[in-house]
Structure 1
Amino acid sequence: MFRTALRNVLAHKARLLMTVLAVMLGVAFVSGTLVFTNTISEAYQKSSAKGFDQVDVALQPDRSRSTGDKVRARPELKQALLDKAAKTPGAETAIGVVNGFTAIADKDGKLIGGGFRSQGGNYWGTDDPRYPLVGGHAPKGDNEVLVDSETARRAGYRVGDTVRISIDGPVLTPEIVGIFTTDDGNVAAGGSLALFDTATAQQLFHKPGAYDEIDVKAASGTSQTALRTELDKILPADVTSTTGKQLADEQARQIADATSSLRTFLLVFAGIALFVGTFIIANTFTMLVAQRTKELALMRAVGASRRQVTRSVLIEAFAVGAVAAVVGLVAGIGIGAALRSLVSGLGTMPDGPLVISPGTVVAALAVGILITMLAAWLPGRRAARIPPVAAMNSVHAQATTRSLVLRNTLGALLTSAGLVTVLYATTMDATDAQAPMGLGAGLLVLGVFVLTPLLSRPLIAATAPVLRVFGVAGKLARQNSVRNPRRTAATASALMIGLTLITALTVVAGSLGNAIDKMAASALKADYVVSMANGNNLSPDLEQAVKSADGVAASSPLRNAPSRIDGKTEFLTSVDGSTIGELTHLTVDDGTFAVGGTRIVVDDRTAEDHHWSAGSRFTVNYEDGKQQQLTVAGVYQETEIMRGIMVDTATLAPHQSNPSDMQIMVKMSGGATDSARSTLVKALGDNPAIKIQDKKDISDSIGQVFTTVLNMLYGLLAMAVIVAVLGVINTLAMSVFERSQEIGMLRAIGLDRKGIKRMVRLESLVISLFGGVLGIGLGVFFGWAAGRLLGTKMTTFELILPWDRMALFLALAAVVGVLAALWPARRAARLNMLTAIKSE
């Protein structure tokens, strides 16, 4: 039986090629994902570990904790503590660390580093061991700066050049006096790093005489634990100590968590491709077993047991899966290497070797072999249960009424359960509904797959009027499509799954884009919103610059400050009470929209939490420890852009030690025009770190995230569509082979080669469109269900059906059908009619 199984594999090499390709693509995706994520994880971990070479113990302020009615301010690390740390027994050196956002412009005035990764810090003394100089000298004074070598290379900067820099608003133009190397992960990921002398850094980052961290290096012979024990003796209660090893381990854990999320995300799509491939494998082995029914029956007649027959099919599957897994592993290693080279070329990843772990090899082989054997088990088991006499007479060919009733009943139950679960999930909170929604979607897809043979007859029958135009070829194509409903179902389902996911994503993304546009238009009257490129706060000086610019009709800063109200931490948003009504469009449910003095307005959700209404009074505890009684003038409806407790800037500012603005809203006398934008740009010093956005820009910036993710998901789901195409080709090719005699007869009675090609192509087109219609229908339903959940979080969400995209997807299904039929149709047309008629 073993030799027979291997002989059958070698005898059907061409027929099994598509199966090997389907499994290989899925395995390549899995192994490529593992190789890539393992490589970047190890590269970042090694890079981060180097960054802690000069740190044996780090002293950091304890995180701010608020208790009772007091807001606890973040403690500062002063020079006195640094001096004590340097003199601690076992300490060799102590370095004070200052850091903050620092935007660097290139020679064209554009921001380097993507905003979030643009950092600045201090260079310690004249020789900082953390940042080896490769040219120039240490900075001194506010007119000198160092830049990292990668930023200098990307922007073409050299020692002696002048560079434009922004910390929180005003533009600085210091001279580059040195270039240094660093193992900083942000720089490795495409960011930038600028270094000032310590006094300048403290002044620029609003930390005069204070540090963000103190790094202590242990003397020779002193362990990190021993040094930490000595340092703990001098530390105040609001300062914590951490060993360098703990910091490196924590950063390694964070990197591992980040790459784990990426790995999981990519493996989901690899799983989808493998799931789709399972249909192809099952289809292939079903057809192969059907073609060898008499052979298997003869083996049963001469003494082979049911187990031996099943085992022979599984041996074939093992051989096919092993070959596909090995090829897929090699291809996956290539994919991982290509992705590593691509990311490294973009400057977003530190250098490191390609990591091919034993786990990756085992996972690839296990996935390829197990998936193939699992898909082949049912056809093998079904073949073994056919009585030899019945197999000899082909009595087994048609499914029994009992099996069809059982299948349709099971499919109806699964579909109903999935439908009910999804509908129930739409009534739940979005956070709690994720698991039920996923379960219901899985059950519904599985149920529709089981019911697909039943659905194929009426849906394909609906194409009869169109196919009738093609004459005999069209009629034969329709009959062939429903001749074996199970095979048609398995072939169409592979395409259905891919299009279901693509359609659902498109529906949700289109609806979200519309909701975002409505959100910006409905909540803002302001023409522009000014903010930092990285989301950090703006200097208060910029609000004055905006207010004094030509053509500005009204403006208001938005500032956040922590407070304690009724024993809970609440963030206050300060605005210019005299102009905020001209800059926003908020619906007031209770009272009036009036901000000034002790009068505030609050969103409906916060009001409900505190049981407030118009006229309610409460006591607020500010961050400086002082208290004040405020009155609720009005309650407004929360939006995605405006929410929280609004107080007047003049009321809050005296209680803030270092006020800064999140945004500045601006209304121009002539509206949002190119000249108005240019006026604001000029008023703000042509600063590369500052964004000036109108309503459309705000919508586009939020929508761009969804568009990028959507395009990436399209690319990943394309793998499933490619596998589905292979499935259609495989099914048609094997269908042509088993219908050789029939095709020969059709040729003999007058159907020419063009008619044969047309028949096969139309059959492929019908099957593909059938899968496309099911996929688009399910996708719209899932998009609606997901939209119901999003609607609970976004008041402007409304389901929008992208008819043009759905028409494109249906056309894509048709193209898949036409392309998939090219080779099988050509093969059918080239059959010798006499040889075909004589074939068994």
Structure 2
Amino acid sequence: MFRTALRNVLAHKARLLMTVLAVMLGVAFVSGTLVFTDTFGTAYKNQSAKSFDHVSVAIEPDGGQGPAEEGDKGATRLDDALVREAAAVPGAESALGSVEGFTALAGKDGKLVGGNWGSRGTNYYPDARGHDPRWAFVRGRAPAGADEVALDSRTAERTGYRVGDSVRLSTNGSVTKAEVAGVFDTDDGNVLAGGSLVLFDNTTALRVLGDGAYDEIDVKAAPGTSQSALLHSVRDVLPEDTEARTGAALSAEQDRMIERQTGSTSQVLLVFAGIALFVGIFIIANTFTMLVAQRTRELALLRAVGASRRQVTRSVLTEAFLIGLVAAVAGGVLGIGVAVLLQTLLKAGGAGLPEGPLVLAPRTVLVSLLIGVGVTMTAAWLPGRRAAKIPPVAAMNSVHAAPTVRGLVVRNTLGSVVVALGTVLLFTDDNYVVSAGAGVVMVGVIILTPLLSRPFVAAAEPLLRLFGVAGRLARLNAVRNPRRTASTASALMIGLTLITAMTVVATSTSGAIDRMAADSLKADYTVSMANYEPLAPQVHKTVAALPEVTASSPVRTAYGEVGGAPNRLSGIDPKSFGSLVHLDLDSGSLRDLRGDAVLLDRDTAKERGLRAGDRVTVKFDDDGGRAHLRVAGVYRPNDLLNGVYVPTSVVDPHLSEIADEKVLVRVRGGASATAEDTLVKALGSNPALKIQDKEAISGEIGGAIDMLLKMLYGLLAMAVLIAVLGVVNTLAMSVFERRHEIGMLRAIGLDRAKVKRMVRLESVVISLFGAVLGVGLGLFLGWIAGGAVGEEVPTYRMDVPVSRLLVFLASAAVVGVLAALWPARGAARLNPLQAIKAE
């Protein structure tokens, strides 16, 4: 039976090609993901290990104190005196202090370089020889005063800055100028990810970044001293509220963090690889079903000469094993190319990655083989079992050819039950159960596709009639074997269902954000720090003094207890707040928000049992002071406006340091390029400040959603490509199966052009059937998912992106035409006489 299976594989190489490609692509996705994440993780670990080369022991503030507490970097006083003490302990060769913080660097266009979170600054700490071992200069030298800085080489290349150029930067809200003294190379992860790194001389860095204290002190062991021995010595000089750890411990912690990050990336990619493989199952099952049907008499003869049912099934599974093995090996090799392609695309997109060799772990090889062989054999098991159950005499007479009515009834009943069960799960409150319900509904629809194919093809009949005989034949061919048509269409349906559902949710969410910004803000602009740290109160004073500004208010954050429970409080200017925001009030009035008043969101008011006119006690965290306030009103919160609002006159006396979260601004004539330019210049063209109108606020969130959607499109493209291969495979094998019939049609006058048109129309019908199912099911699942989003975003409503959906359907029709090129050409080139003679 093994020799028989091997002979069948070799005899049907062309017909099995698409199956091999489908499995190969799925396996390549999996192996490429594993190779990429292993390579990425190993390179970062090696880079991390390099960054700890000069660190034998690190002294840090202990457990969340000192620098870990925002704005409290000097609490544990990691200062120069402690650096000298650490350098003098037995076994220490040297010690250096490290300080780091947000540093906004302006490009030549005046805009922030490096992004909101990736713009950092740090210190150059010279050792006894005048060198800092952390930085390798490629041009120029280290900064030597407050008017000099050094830039990392990636930032210098990106911005065009050279040694001697003047740059503008900001660390604490004020803008300063400095000269570029040098350019250095670094493996810093933020820089590799597109951020910027600025070096200050040590004195300047302590002043502008560290409030006079270091974030960390790194001690290097002398030759012959172990890290553990040095750690023991360093602990003798540690002040209170500090801790010391070995470089090995820090490196191990970094490795664990990298593993978690790469593990999360790997899981996401593997989910989409699983979707691609799931789509491949339909192609494999279709292929083996058709191959088995074409070899029915051969299998019947084997049964007649003594082969058992189990042997016939094993023969089919052996074929699947051989095909899966070839596809798995090819997919594993192709996966290396996929990993290289992923690296290239990410680098081209500006995401810097550390350099390192490709890592092909034994796990990757094993997983590729197991998946390739396992998926193929799983998909081939049912066709093999079905073939083995056919009685030899019935097979020889081809009684088995059409699926029985009973079989279709059972399938349709099962599909209906599964869809009903999934629908019930969709309307539960648990998001995980809803997700499972979406999967169950999709499986149920896949089961029901044979039932759904007939009415769809019937609905398409008027259009097919326009193509004459070719159209009528295409319709008959599409409904001849509902299971085959359904299986082919289901592969395409899966990808389009997910794409449609995600597009609907993303489009609707973006619209909800736009509406939220438009409905909630009357202000034309918001001013905030680019890294979302507090603003200096001088910003509001500067803005309020501009003649173009008609109203402005700071939003000043404080923390405390409202009615005995923890709450964040926002201090605002009560005189102008009402003209800057639009609040949907349940009770009370914004006019009453003055003096000792407080405005509560609905959730807080409900939890505390408060209404407009009630009195409530507020306790402030900073000084423990209390204020007895009157509830001016209760409003409905959203993502832009929420929490508790009080006049700044109430919160200011209880704050240890006055700083604003943001400033709301309204200008005469509304938002315009001129008004924005006025604000930018008034604030010193500060790269650390972010000035946004309502459109920019929406765009910031919507841009992230759009980028995520494009990434998901790219990941699902593999599943769609495999589905296209399925259409090609089904048509090619169907043409081979119908070669006798096609020969007869050619013999009675159907020319080659009409034969091609017949196959193309059949392909388009199958592709559009899958697309219509996918788009319809995607709309339904998008509506369900939108219900969960709507609970969090009050302005959410389902927006159907009609233009994109039409593009999806048009693309499916194009896919049908392209997929039919090879099968149609093969059908048209059949020799009528030889085809008629074919058994």
Rounded to whole Å, the distance in 2 between the matches of 1:113 and 1:92 is 35
* Residue number in structure 2 paired with 1:645: 644
Q: Is the 8 A contact 1:64 1:72 kept in 2?
A: no
SS at match of 2:146: coil
Counterpart of 2:741, as a letter, is E
Q: CA deviation at 1:81?
A: 4.9
* Residue number in structure 2 paired with 1:485: 482
State how 1:13-92 maps to structure 2 within 5 Å: 13-63=13-63, 76-78=75-77, 79=79, 81-82=82-83, 84-92=85-93
The worse-fitting range, judged by mean Cα deviation, of 291-300 and 537-546 is 537-546
Rounded to whole Å, the distance in 2 between the matches of 1:99 and 1:556 is 32
* Residue number in structure 1 paired with 2:705: 706
Q: Does 1:216 align with 2:219?
A: yes
Rounded to whole Å, the distance in 1 between the matches of 2:391 and 2:826 is 34
* Residue number in structure 2 paired with 1:176: 180
Q: Does 1:319 align with 2:318?
A: no
Q: Does 1:330 align with 2:333?
A: yes
1:563–1:760: structure 2 CA closer, same or farther, 3 Å change rule? same
Deviations 1:756-785 (A, max 9, x none): 222222221221121111111110010000
Q: CA deviation at 1:234?
A: 5.0
SS at match of 1:779: helix
The worse-fitting range, judged by mean Cα deviation, of 653-662 and 793-802 is 653-662
Deviations 1:34-82 (A, max 9, x none): 111111111112112222222233333345589xxx9997771213655
1:656–1:249: structure 2 CA closer, same or farther, 3 Å change rule? farther
Instruction: Give the TM-score of the pair, scaled to structure 2.
Output: 0.94
The worse-fitting range, judged by mean Cα deviation, of 736-745 and 755-764 is 755-764
1:680–1:785: structure 2 CA closer, same or farther, 3 Å change rule? same
1:753–1:72: structure 2 CA closer, same or farther, 3 Å change rule? closer
Deviations 1:599-652 (A, max 9, x none): 222222223333333323213133244444444322221111011122333433
State how 1:432-581 maps to structure 2 within 5 Å: 433-564=430-561, 569-581=566-578
Deviations 1:346-375 (A, max 9, x none): 361121111111111221222111111111
Which of residues 405, 418, 422 in structure 2 aligns to 1:418? 422
Counterpart of 1:585, as a letter, is H
State how 1:583-598 maps to structure 2 within 5 Å: 583-593=580-590, 594-598=592-596
Rounded to whole Å, the distance in 2 between the matches of 1:630 and 1:199 is 47
Q: Does 1:599 align with 2:602?
A: no
SS at match of 1:396: coil
Q: CA deviation at 1:230?
A: 4.6
Q: Does 1:240 align with 2:249?
A: no
Q: Does 1:611 align with 2:609?
A: yes
Deviations 1:267-293 (A, max 9, x none): 111111111111001000100010000
Rounded to whole Å, the distance in 2 between the matches of 1:713 and 1:162 is 42
The worse-fitting range, judged by mean Cα deviation, of 283-292 and 109-118 is 109-118
Rounded to whole Å, the distance in 2 between the matches of 1:143 and 1:740 is 83
Counterpart of 1:808, as a letter, is V
The worse-fitting range, judged by mean Cα deviation, of 82-91 and 697-706 is 82-91
Q: CA deviation at 1:584?
A: 0.8
State how 1:112-123 maps to structure 2 within 5 Å: 112-123=113-124
Rounded to whole Å, the distance in 2 between the matches of 1:728 and 1:62 is 62
Rounded to whole Å, the distance in 2 between the matches of 1:282 and 1:632 is 67
Rounded to whole Å, the distance in 1 between the matches of 2:552 and 2:228 is 54
Aligned Cα root-mean-square deviation (Å): 2.4
What's the % identity of the aligned pairs?
58
Counterpart of 2:58, as a letter, is A
1:65–1:150: structure 2 CA closer, same or farther, 3 Å change rule? closer
1:732–1:538: structure 2 CA closer, same or farther, 3 Å change rule? same
The worse-fitting range, judged by mean Cα deviation, of 182-191 and 23-32 is 182-191
Rounded to whole Å, the distance in 2 between the matches of 1:685 and 1:338 is 44
Q: Does 1:301 align with 2:288?
A: no
The worse-fitting range, judged by mean Cα deviation, of 613-622 and 275-284 is 613-622
1:539–1:63: structure 2 CA closer, same or farther, 3 Å change rule? farther
Rounded to whole Å, the distance in 2 between the matches of 1:245 and 1:621 is 42
Counterpart of 1:291, as a letter, is Q
Rounded to whole Å, the distance in 1 between the matches of 2:71 and 2:474 is 77
The worse-fitting range, judged by mean Cα deviation, of 327-336 and 755-764 is 755-764
SS at match of 2:619: strand
Counterpart of 1:608, as a letter, is K
Deviations 1:471-492 (A, max 9, x none): 3322222121111111111011
Which of residues 383, 394, 398 in structure 1 aligns to 2:398? 394
1:657–1:195: structure 2 CA closer, same or farther, 3 Å change rule? farther
Deviations 1:414-472 (A, max 9, x none): 11111111122xxx1xxxx3321221111111111111111212222222222223233
Q: CA deviation at 1:544?
A: 2.2
SS at match of 2:167: coil
1:589–1:56: structure 2 CA closer, same or farther, 3 Å change rule? farther
Counterpart of 2:120, as a letter, is Q
Q: Is the 8 A contact 1:344 1:350 kept in 2?
A: no
SS at match of 1:174: strand
Counterpart of 1:527, as a letter, is D
Q: Is the 8 A contact 2:143 2:149 kept in 1?
A: yes
Rounded to whole Å, the distance in 2 between the matches of 1:53 and 1:278 is 50
Q: Is the 8 A contact 1:71 1:564 kept in 2?
A: no
Rounded to whole Å, the distance in 1 between the matches of 2:711 and 2:8 is 41
SS at match of 2:691: strand
The worse-fitting range, judged by mean Cα deviation, of 796-805 and 146-155 is 146-155
Q: Does 1:829 align with 2:832?
A: no
1:611–1:123: structure 2 CA closer, same or farther, 3 Å change rule? farther
Q: Does 1:109 align with 2:110?
A: yes
Counterpart of 1:617, as a letter, is V
Rounded to whole Å, the distance in 2 between the matches of 1:770 and 1:17 is 25
SS at match of 1:600: strand
SS at match of 1:751: coil
Counterpart of 2:149, as a letter, is V
Counterpart of 1:284, as a letter, is T
Structure 1: stretches of 5+ with no match in the other structure = none
Rounded to whole Å, the distance in 2 between the matches of 1:447 and 1:91 is 69
1:203–1:629: structure 2 CA closer, same or farther, 3 Å change rule? farther
* Residue number in structure 2 paired with 1:167: 171
SS at match of 2:794: coil
Rounded to whole Å, the distance in 1 between the matches of 2:237 and 2:211 is 22
SS at match of 1:349: coil
Q: CA deviation at 1:158?
A: 3.0
1:524–1:481: structure 2 CA closer, same or farther, 3 Å change rule? same
Q: Does 1:262 align with 2:265?
A: yes
Q: CA deviation at 1:697?
A: 1.4
Structure 2: stretches of 5+ with no match in the other structure = none
State how 1:745-784 maps to structure 2 within 5 Å: 745-784=744-783
Rounded to whole Å, the distance in 1 between the matches of 2:754 and 2:138 is 75
SS at match of 2:117: coil
SS at match of 1:585: coil
Rounded to whole Å, the distance in 2 between the matches of 1:761 and 1:543 is 67
Q: Is the 8 A contact 2:65 2:75 kept in 1?
A: no
SS at match of 2:253: helix
Rounded to whole Å, the distance in 2 between the matches of 1:124 and 1:407 is 74
Q: Is the 8 A contact 1:170 1:684 kept in 2?
A: no
Q: Does 1:281 align with 2:297?
A: no
Q: Is the 8 A contact 1:344 1:351 kept in 2?
A: no
Q: Is the 8 A contact 2:543 2:682 kept in 1?
A: yes
Counterpart of 1:454, as a letter, is L
State how 1:151-166 maps to structure 2 within 5 Å: 151-166=155-170
1:212–1:647: structure 2 CA closer, same or farther, 3 Å change rule? farther
Rounded to whole Å, the distance in 2 between the matches of 1:542 and 1:712 is 38
SS at match of 2:467: helix
Q: Is the 8 A contact 1:71 1:622 kept in 2?
A: no
